Amino acid sequence: MKRIIYKLDNALERLTEQVTSVLLLIIVLVVLYSVLMRYVFNHPPFWSDRISIFANIGMILFGLSLTVRSGELISMQALYEKISPAFALYLDATWNGIILIFSMVYAWYGLDAAVNMPGQYWDFQEFCIDLGIAQNGPENFLLTFFKSLENIVGYAVRPFCVDGAIPQKYLAMLMPISGILLVIASIGVIIRDAKEIIAMRQ
């Protein structure tokens, strides 16, 4: 049973790392695309800033659980250098317990906020509505090509659209999901701290 839990936890950690990496890649690609369209073709996409911000939020929220797992949260290193290793271990355990409580509250109210957010939308008409592809002539072949890529992305996004917009609850679901990841990560480090405390007392 312990082995199964350990494997599932490792798989969840790897999945979180992959999702975080994909979000970082999206940020880089969207920003590069926006700069290209703005300064080369003078045709900036209105959605680029919004997408990059959303991806950044997701990357930070998912990355936080990885930081908790690795024990690399910002700490008062100067204080740790002045106290005994035993007291530092108890301090870590207390801090991780506080993180667990915060994570549970965050996940619960994050889910409530995501579920109870009807009628609020972000305008993504370029993705949600098939506007067609403008034929700009041979001299604007690259512009037509890039707008075609936007249209392809739109076909993937369109099933999630409501009246030409994307409900805000989709992004709000990042809160309970990341909260659950934080809860799992916090429980893991608390168990690790408990084992270290028991080993220290023996």
Structure confidence at residue 143 (pLDDT): 56
pLDDT in tens, 58-114: 899 898 888 888 876 666 566 767 777 778 788 888 888 888 999 999 999 888 888
What confidence tier does 133 reach under pLDDT thresholds 50, 70, 90?
very low
Given a contact cutoff of 8 angstroms between Cβ atoms, the answer to whether 166 and 47 are in contact is: no
Exposure string (b/e) for 92-101, b if CB count within 10 Å is 16 or more?
A: bbeebeebbe
Average pLDDT, the chain: 76
Structure confidence at residue 111 (pLDDT): 87
pLDDT in tens, 166-184: 677 777 888 889 999 999 9
The DSSP H or E segment spanning 123 is strand 121-123
Q: Is the pLDDT of residue 131 over 50?
A: no
Higher pLDDT, 14 or 82: 14
With a pLDDT cut of 90, the percent of the chain lying above it is 13
Average pLDDT over residues 124-135: 53
Reported pTM:
0.76
| Longest CA span, the chain | 79
Higher pLDDT, 184 or 198: 184
Given a contact cutoff of 8 angstroms between Cβ atoms, the answer to whether 162 and 153 are in contact is: no
pLDDT in tens, 138-165: 446 555 555 556 655 555 555 666 666 6
130's tokens: 């098939």
Give me the count of residues in the chain.
202
Measured distance CA(15)–CA(7) in Å, rounded: 12
Backbone angles phi, psi at 74, to 5 degrees: -60, 125
Exposure string (b/e) for 6-25, b if CB count within 10 Å is 16 or more?
A: eeeeeebbeebeebbeebee
